[in-house]
Amino acid sequence: VTEQRAMMTLYGDLRSGNTLKVKWTADLLGVPYTVVEVDAFMSATRQPEYLAKFPMGQAPGIELPDGRCLAQSNAICRYLANGTDLLPAHPFQAAKVDEWLFWEQYSHEPYVAVLYTAVAYRGVALSERDSHRVQKGEQALDLMETWLSARDFFVADRFTIADIALFAYTRFAERAGFDMKKRPHVEGWLQRCGRKIGA
């Protein structure tokens, strides 16, 4: 068993797309794990025991049998997917996956995910959404629509962790108040990803 296939502990909040990215990647690859539920809304990630393992104070995180810990959803997916079909071996194609993973965290998740959380969990009305986040989220979804109008998956014409990472919150974009009917290519891709992931 390579170390990425040994039993791991997944610390996370299964309502969170960031945690689900890791769960889905592990499930698709058959990586065994146990889940320790961490309530991200109740400051569980800011407790000293959690910070000792994960100094960034966020979920998800994984702990390997020897005690090594790794945080940041996309870093964990990348680690698990290394050497599998979910991450191309070719350095340029792998870097294209990274390109979308970094973009997801800087230009998509802070808008689409944060608005989803505000609407779905913090009771914010659609009309009260932060207009800057709405504008940036619209831009992100428009870029995805253009990109997906010419291909089935984000990189290398196949399903990779770039798709998993972007699927996590794009599937909640409608709920966050974004009009997805005007983004049919994103909708089609969401369905393709949903079938792969079983979500």
Ligand X SMILES: N[C@@H](CCC(=O)N[C@@H](CS)C(=O)NCC(=O)O)C(=O)O
Question: Which residues contact ligand X by CB under 6 A?
Answer: 13, 16, 18, 40, 45-46, 57-60, 72-74, 105
Which residue number, 59 or 193, has a Cβ lying nearer to ligand X? 59
Question: In terms of C-beta distances under 8 Å and separation of at least 24 residues, what long-range contacts does 75-79 make, across chains too?
Answer: 76/21, 76/22, 76/25, 77/21, 77/22, 77/25, 77/101, 77/161, 77/164, 77/165, 78/161, 79/4
Of 16, 25, 10, nearest to 70 (Cα)?
A: 10
Nearest distance from C-beta of residue 88 to ligand X, angstroms: 21
Which residue number, 59 or 155, has a Cβ lying nearer to ligand X? 59
Question: In terms of C-beta distances under 8 Å and separation of at least 24 residues, what long-range contacts does 155-159 make, across chains too?
Answer: 155/88, 155/93, 155/96, 155/97, 155/100, 156/88, 156/93, 156/96, 158/85, 159/86, 159/192, 159/193, 159/196
Nearest distance from C-beta of residue 102 to ligand X, angstroms: 11
Q: How far apart are CA 195 and CA 189, in angstroms?
A: 10
Which residue number, 41 or 151, has a Cβ lying nearer to ligand X? 41
Nearest distance from C-beta of residue 161 to ligand X, angstroms: 12
Nearest distance from C-beta of residue 13 to ligand X, angstroms: 6
Q: How far apart are CA 95 and CA 198, in angstroms?
A: 26
Which residue number, 109 or 189, has a Cβ lying nearer to ligand X? 109
Nearest distance from C-beta of residue 19 to ligand X, angstroms: 7
Which residue number, 74 or 160, has a Cβ lying nearer to ligand X? 74
